[in-house]
Amino acid sequence: TYLFARGASASAVVKKLTDTFNQKALPIIESTEAPFSKTKTLILASIIERETITGDERPIVAGILIKRLDSGWPLQVDASNQYASGSLRCKRKVDCDWWTTPTSQDLEIDSNYNTYKFSSLPPTPISNPGLSAMNAIVNFVETPYWYYIHDSSGVIHYASSLEEHNSNVQKYLR
């Protein structure tokens, strides 16, 4: 949270934001424990920020996504597709709701942010990641899980196999 005087200049605001980022975020993303470059760490942290609800699940989801990247899997995260489809809708001046549930059409969007089509990180962050999401990348947890979903109450459910994941989808989302 930032408090600025009513008459604060844009340069003063940008300086405060930049200084705070340099003081708090850079030490995390420049850590020798970070598995990626600063840019990639920020991009993945932005996905973790949008894909998770609690601080407890962030390092586990980070571990799942890092495992997928290391194995050449597509990330298949809804948050990046929401970003891609929201961007397109806003450009077309149709609807600027960025975070709607992706449709089957959204999963076919030809965008570098479509992590269902492309097995790499998006080119830029999709949100402003908090320190908790950045710390989750540096302190990711290795698990047997490859999949996760949140049920309608926001509770996360993990799965080690596609069969188990599909069962979770049927049980918690249908």
Parallel, antiparallel or unpaired: strands 147-150 and 156-159: antiparallel
C-alpha pair distances (Å), 48 with each of 59, 139, 156: 9, 13, 13
Percent of residues, the chain, with pLDDT higher than 70? 93
pLDDT (tens digit, 9 = 90+) per residue, 36-94? 889 999 999 999 999 999 999 999 999 999 999 999 999 999 999 888 887 776 676 66
C-alpha pair distances (Å), 57 with each of 53, 73, 139: 7, 21, 12
**Does residue 174 register a pLDDT over 70?**
yes
CA 68/CA 158 separation, integer angstroms: 14
Token representation of residue 49: 């920020």
Q: How many Cβ atoms from other residues are within 10 Å of residue 130's Cβ?
A: 17
Per-residue DSSP letters for 51-67? H-SSTTTHHHHHHHHHH
Measure the CA angle with vertex 91, ends 88 and 93; round to 5°: 110
Q: Is the C-alpha dihedral spanning 76, 82, 83, 88 positive or negative?
A: positive
pLDDT (tens digit, 9 = 90+) per residue, 1-49? 789 999 999 999 999 999 999 999 999 988 877 788 899 999 999 999 9
CA 101/CA 149 separation, integer angstroms: 13
Token representation of residue 127: 């949100």
Residue 46 is predicted with a pLDDT of: 96
Phi, psi at 124, each rounded to 5°: -145, 165
Token representation of residue 112: 């570098």
Residue 131 is predicted with a pLDDT of: 94
Residue 95 is predicted with a pLDDT of: 67
Question: One-letter amino acid identity for 69?
Answer: L
**Does residue 106 register a pLDDT over 90?**
no
Specify whether the CB–CB gap between 146 and 67 falls below 8 A.
Answer: yes
Residue 108 is predicted with a pLDDT of: 79
